[in-house]
């Protein structure tokens, strides 16, 4: 038996080597670098100075964290609600369902940079679709990406572009996993429409919501492409996202120690968020097979 | 079926790896193939026209130096600085590299580049005298010469001659020759060349505006400056001349409405090539693009306008440097010397007129001065260099310039601030960087 067991290690060896070299190794290296001053040329151990500078002396760190927190606060609930709404629509038995499912999924296949460029057109104050639509309603549209007050909301709005993507598919799979018997039983008791949704669909879908919420928060904290391509953090740092500022420190200013410290701070933030969600899950996530250990 | 044993697995691995190793185990450096020529690697960036010219110059060099082969590789401009930094840090950078001056001070202090003084000492006496001093100044650090300048240029104004004629305005080139091309004249012309529909929708703008550092001459010519002489303190805030210069530049957009807003420019609707912008502030190197794209109007160049205090223009180049780790320093020097020599400069500046020659002998050469395609005012290139002033670029430039540009956005982007307020904010932010501990 032991002989066969050794073969198991041989088979996982390629993955193991890859994991150690390209994931665990760089992670440990970045942890070490976060305690150093490093500009790709000179490496100096500075203890916790990078963390101290970030937390106590760097206003852009807090600005980027605030921007990102606001982005997460709005884009995650809006995105989850939108994805669930589309999944509910695409779970109906209507003609042309395959077409609708494809059509709603398509935007998520567009590369992030390409969709960012398309949205630049949509947000154009004079020639953009959005302000054109508003003008039809007699409303003068804002400057969107050019105005510090509307730039961040613009990126949040743009994040909804992806609501028909994988998150929606997961919701759809979750919806299709809910037994019809539950709805039939509820119907016999007089629960239909909103009541059925509130007391059957939502609880039965709670593990899916939990999964999407955890991944959504992690993904939103790491938002980068839209800010990098569309605004480069401007105007006046209104869209300076955390990962964009991390990138700037690493690859524009070559403060790789500081950037590594930022990466670890983000890791800790995400870890706390995830742990809190897992702790709170027992209060609102319902597993059909019983309580999850 | 044979059993998979550790020995067989190892054998298979060796068999797969052996052909690769016998084929050279990766990249060859130094001598090329079996012809005993020294291969020099040279890295640069640029558009296809630039690439073609660089190839031609390398071919000319190889003709004169058959013992040396130039391996030219062009990297897209957007990825160039990242790649260069990583190659320098990993000691895999090419023998000769073109470094943008925006980054040169940050790189040279890390000892990535070889001092050129020992090579210059071997050249005939007065070798450096042919170079214009500004070019040598940019390539010097800690009183040693590390780079010779290529693609040297200034910020100039491209203007649409047909729009000026249609508006009945005097040609700015003539005004400049008469010593009358100053800031008020420029603003008047920009206003006269701007047209809006009755609804307020813009049809044509008198001028474009640019971001820092390209508007440097406006501040200088109003008597202001960005940093102190030591480049350790931001000096614009509280300086009436700087504040006035910056406010007047912002006024082009918001008060006089003769320059496009960010919204107007976002979709390139108002570009110089479109014929809807009468004057365009740009680097000297933009002329090949305009020659290619503009077919329906006449255009030429004029220096940026003078101010009450002076008539400086912004100048900047790229430095051609030798990597410290090169195995062929002498051959690399020969190549650098050739690239910045009269033959290459004539090819580069005369053929494409992408740049202004760094050598006096080329500047005065009739072949360079003769112009059979726009821009015809070659003397403007030379005048802008005579009036040229280098930018306050130090090793922290990338960081403080980004913060400075960001602080000016409320003034330039949405008119939510005036120059005084924007500069007070910029001063706090920039000085925090300049006075902060390096590396944090």
In this predicted model, what pLDDT tens digit does every residue of B267-293 receive, in sequence order?
667 899 999 999 999 998 888 889 989
Query: Between A and B, how many residue pairs show a Cβ–Cβ distance under 8 A?
Result: 78
Beta-carbon-side half-sphere exposure of residue A181 (alpha carbons within 13 Å): 1
Helical pair B397-412 and B240-254, crossing angle rounded to 10 deg: 50
pLDDT tens-digit profile of B148-190? 999 899 999 999 999 999 999 999 999 999 999 999 999 999 9
**Interacting residues of B216 by C-beta distance below 8 A, sequence separation 6+:** B155, B226, B312, B314, B389, B391
User: Domain count of chain A?
Assistant: 1
pLDDT tens digits in sequence order for chain B, 440 residues long: 445 554 555 455 545 544 444 444 434 444 444 567 899 999 998 877 778 888 889 999 999 999 999 999 888 888 898 899 989 989 999 999 999 999 999 999 999 999 999 999 999 999 999 999 999 999 999 999 999 999 899 999 999 999 999 999 999 999 999 999 999 999 999 999 999 998 888 999 999 999 999 999 999 999 999 999 999 999 999 999 999 999 999 999 999 999 998 878 776 678 999 999 999 999 988 888 899 899 999 999 999 999 999 999 999 999 999 999 999 999 999 999 999 999 899 888 877 766 789 999 999 888 888 888 899 999 999 999 999 999 999 999 999 999 999 999 989 988 888 999 999 999 999 999 999 887 78
Return the CATH fold of B155-315+393-435: D-Maltodextrin-Binding Protein; domain 2 (3.40.190)
Looking only at the bridges linking them, the beta strands covering B313-322 and B388-390 are parallel
Residues 146-165 of A with CB under 8 A from B: 146-148
CA B333, B339, B340, B343 torsion-angle sign: positive
**Residue A101 phi, psi (nearest 5):** -60, -45
Burial class (CB in 10 A: 0-12, 13-18, 19+), B18: exposed
In the numeric block, the tokens 């010397």 are attached to: B337
Q: What is the CATH number of the domain that holds A85?
A: 1.10.3720.10
Interface contact A64, partner B, CB < 8 A: no
Closest CA to B209 of B152, B160, B270: B270
Q: How many residues does chain B have?
A: 440
Using CB atoms, which residue from B82, B106, B267 is nearest to A121? B267
Angle at B333 between CA B329 and CA B391, to 5 degrees: 115
Dist CA A175 CA A180 (whole Å): 10
Q: State the SS3 of A52-110.
A: HHHHHHCHHHHHHHHHHHHHHHHHHHHHHHHHHHHHHHHCCCCCCHHHHHHHHHHHHHC
- State which residue of chain B sits closest to A61, comparing Cα positions: B440
Residue B30: enclosing H or E segment and its boundaries? strand B30-32
- State which residue of chain B sits closest to A147, comparing Cα positions: B414
Cβ separation B439–A148 shorter than 8 A: no
- Tell me if A6 is assigned to some domain: no
pTM of the model: 0.83
ipTM exceeding cut-off 0.95 for this assembly: no
Measured between beta carbons, the chain A residues lying within 8 angstroms of B437 are 53
Cβ separation A39–B440 shorter than 8 A: no
Tell me the Ramachandran region of residue B205: left when phi exceeds 0, alpha when psi lies from -120 to 50, beta otherwise: beta
- Tell me if A41 is assigned to some domain: no
Domains of chain B: which residue ranges? 30-153+316-390, 155-315+393-435
- Tell me if A17 is assigned to some domain: no
Closest CA to B58 of B30, B27, B96, B99: B96
* Domain of A233, in residue numbers: 51-284
Burial class (CB in 10 A: 0-12, 13-18, 19+), A48: exposed
Q: Which CATH class is domain B30-153+316-390?
A: alpha beta
């Amino acid at each position: 038996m032991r002989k066969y067991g050794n073969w198991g290690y041989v088979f996982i060896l390629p993955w193991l080597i890859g994991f150690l070299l390209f994931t665990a190794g760089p992670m440990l290296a970045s942890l070490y670098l976060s305690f150093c001053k490093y500009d790709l040329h000179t490496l100096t151990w500075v203890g916790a100075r990078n963390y101290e500078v970030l937390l106590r002396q760097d206003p852009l760190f807090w600005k980027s964290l605030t921007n990102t927190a606001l982005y997460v606060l709005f884009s995650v609930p809006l995105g989850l609600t939108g994805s669930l709404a589309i999944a509910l629509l695409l779970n109906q038995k209507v003609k042309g369902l395959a077409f609708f499912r494809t059509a709603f999924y398509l935007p998520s296949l567009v590369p992030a940079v390409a969709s960012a460029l398309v949205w630049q057109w949509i947000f154009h104050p004079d020639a953009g679709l959005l302000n054109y639509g508003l003008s039809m309603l007699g409303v003068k549209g804002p400057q969107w990406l050019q105005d510090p007050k509307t730039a961040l909301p613009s990126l949040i709005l743009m994040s909804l572009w992806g609501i028909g993507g994988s998150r929606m598919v997961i919701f759809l799979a979750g919806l299709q996993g809910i037994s019809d018997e539950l709805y039939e039983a509820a119907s016999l008791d007089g629960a239909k429409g909103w009541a059925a949704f509130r007391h059957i669909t939502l609880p039965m879908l709670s593990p899916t919501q939990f999964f999407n919420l955890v991944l959504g928060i992690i993904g939103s904290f790491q938002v980068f492409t839209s800010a990098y391509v569309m605004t480069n953090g401007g105007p006046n740092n209104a869209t300076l996202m955390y990962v964009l500022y991390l990138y700037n420190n690493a690859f524009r200013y070559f403060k790789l120690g500081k950037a590594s410290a930022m990466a670890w701070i983000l890791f800790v933030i995400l870890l706390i968020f995830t742990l809190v969600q897992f702790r709170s899950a027992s209060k609102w996530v319902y597993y059909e097979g019983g309580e999850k250990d | 079926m044979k059993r998979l044993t550790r020995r067989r697995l190892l054998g298979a691995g060796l068999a797969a790896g052996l052909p690769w190793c016998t084929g050279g185990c990766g990249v060859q450096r130094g001598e090329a193939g079996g012809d005993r020529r020294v291969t020099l690697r040279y890295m640069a960036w640029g558009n296809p026209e630039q690439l073609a010219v660089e190839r031609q110059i390398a071919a000319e060099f190889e003709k004169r130096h058959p013992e040396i082969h130039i391996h030219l590789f062009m990297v897209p401009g957007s990825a160039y600085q990242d790649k260069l930094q990583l190659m320098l840090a990993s000691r895999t950078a090419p023998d000769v590299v073109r470094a943008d001056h925006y980054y040169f001070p940050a790189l040279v202090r890390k000892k990535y580049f070889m001092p050129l003084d020992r090579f210059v000492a071997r050249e005939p006496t007065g070798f450096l005298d042919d170079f214009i001093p500004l070019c040598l100044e940019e390539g010097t650090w800690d009183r040693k010469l590390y780079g010779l300048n290529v693609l040297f240029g200034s910020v100039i104004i491209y203007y649409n001659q047909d729009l000026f004629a249609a508006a009945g305005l005097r040609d700015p080139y003539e005004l400049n020759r008469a010593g009358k091309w100053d800031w008020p004249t420029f603003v008047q012309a920009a206003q006269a060349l701007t047209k809006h529909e009755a609804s307020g929708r813009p049809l044509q703008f008198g001028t474009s505006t640019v971001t820092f550092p390209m508007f440097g001459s406006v501040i200088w010519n109003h008597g202001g400056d960005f940093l102190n002489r030591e480049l350790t303190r931001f000096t614009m805030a509280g300086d009436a001349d700087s504040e006035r210069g910056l406010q007047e530049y912002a006024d082009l957009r918001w008060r006089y409405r003769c320059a496009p807003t960010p919204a107007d420019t976002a979709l390139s609707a108002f570009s110089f090539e479109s014929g809807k912008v009468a004057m365009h502030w740009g680097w000297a190197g933009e002329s090949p693009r305009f020659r290619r794209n503009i077919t329906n109007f006449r255009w030429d160049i004029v220096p940026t306008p003078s101010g009450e205090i002076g008539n400086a223009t912004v100048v900047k180049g790229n430095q051609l440097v030798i990597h410290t780790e090169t195995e062929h320093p002498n051959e690399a020097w020969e190549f650098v010397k050739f690239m910045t020599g009269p033959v290459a400069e004539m090819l580069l500046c005369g053929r494409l007129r992408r740049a202004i020659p760094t050598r006096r002998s080329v500047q005065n050469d009739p072949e360079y001065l003769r112009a059979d395609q726009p821009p015809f005012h070659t003397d403007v290139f030379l005048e802008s260099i005579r009036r040229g002033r280098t930018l306050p670029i130090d090793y922290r430039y990338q960081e403080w310039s980004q913060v400075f540009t960001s602080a000016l956005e409320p003034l330039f982007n949405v008119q939510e601030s005036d120059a005084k307020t924007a500069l007070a904010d910029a001063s706090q932010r920039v000085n925090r960087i300049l006075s902060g501990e390096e590396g944090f």
